[in-house]
Amino acid sequence: MSHFSRSYAEARQTFLDAARAAGAALAQFPHPTRRGSAGEELAIDVALAGAPEAGRCIMVTSGTHGAEGFAGSGAQAALLHDAALLADCAAADACLLLVHAVNPYGFSHLRRVNEDNVDLNRNFMDFSQPLPHNAAYAEIAPLLLPSQWPPSEADQARLMKTVAERGMAWYQAAVSSGQYQDPAGMFYGGDKATWSNYTLCRILARFGAGRAALRWIDIHTGLGPWGYGEPIHMGPDTPASVTRTRAIWGERVTSIYDGSSTSANLTGLAWHAVPQTLPAVDYAGIALEFGTLPVGEVLDALRGDHWLHRHPEADENQRALVRQAMWRAFYGDADDWRDGVVAQVSDAVRSTIASA
């Protein structure tokens, strides 16, 4: 039986059905103002499987980056159908907290960003403080989002020349590390906490309060080799935190702080919600990042998506091409890829049970 879906509405229904079948407690956080691409309701749905008073909480989140949610949603439904795993969690005094579609607007509209064009995983900043200025993004922005799409050969050649001169790692960091200066640009971190940000904090406070330990697996797609789930340390930049995370999920856990990850160093990551809301909890977390296409193709899909955001006059043909590129960039539409996602997410949950 497939747990994977081809639309947000279908994914939501599959998740809710699986949660009810597993006897999980459900809570829904409907979006207050926005609707989905087919006019459907948007919500963050939460399923709690296992004893509500368990001392340990294993949280698995999908769709922090909207369109990346198809992988995480399928994995969450598979976890709910895995009776042996749920029994093992219960025996280890752990409950499973599944948060479905942290960014439901992007999930439904096939965007990585949310309803405010904000990258939720750059949005957990202290907005009372001055925000960082991404000079490399400012340099490259005019080449990323040219006046026409697809770009003219001359525009593309100018971008390729810059990438060749500065290197692919510089390009990836310039674009993806996060910027707070162009609200209509790419990887924009926002100027205040978004709805998904404060709703996630509410969920953490409501379901995490009083627990001794929280483990968090946040499922992403779009970076790294096809089907490989790279566990990326998600916590403070301290040796103790990285060591602790590797003790749970293994030595292959990478870090954005030491250059071992396929991801660039980033600002405003979602894990900041944990110390904000549960300062005393014993916390460790990873992003599980599943590879799809080469990074250049993924960035091109995102360029098209942002170009479309800035060009509402685009015709239906152009929209369809951009959506198709986004689907391919953030979902491995093949059985080996889907099976691998389920197996690796389930392994990551089992690792949290096995460790203290």
- Name the residues that contact Zn ion, by CB under 5 A: 65, 68, 220
Instruction: Identify the bridge partners of residue 286 per DSSP, sorted by sequence position.
Output: 217, 233
CB of 221 to Zn ion, least distance (A): 7
Closer to Zn ion by Cβ: residue 102 or 203: 102
Closer to Zn ion by Cβ: residue 16 or 232: 232
The CA distance from 281 to 264, in Å, is: 28
Please give the residue whose beta carbon sits closest to Zn ion in the complex: 220
CB of 6 to Zn ion, least distance (A): 19
Closer to Zn ion by Cβ: residue 97 or 266: 266
CA atoms within 13 A on the CB side of 61: 28
* C-alpha distance from residue 192 to each of 4, 95, 128, 183, 202 (Å): 33, 32, 9, 12, 16
Closer to Zn ion by Cβ: residue 46 or 113: 113
CB of 73 to Zn ion, least distance (A): 14
Please give the radius of gyration of the chain, using alpha carbons only, rounded to the nearest integer: 19
Q: Look at strands 41-49 and 94-100 and give their pairing.
A: antiparallel
Backbone angles phi, psi at 102, to 5 degrees: -60, -30
Q: Which two tokens stand for residue 197?
A: 């940000």
The CA distance from 155 to 209, in Å, is: 52
CB of 105 to Zn ion, least distance (A): 15
Closer to Zn ion by Cβ: residue 68 or 305: 68
CB of 296 to Zn ion, least distance (A): 17
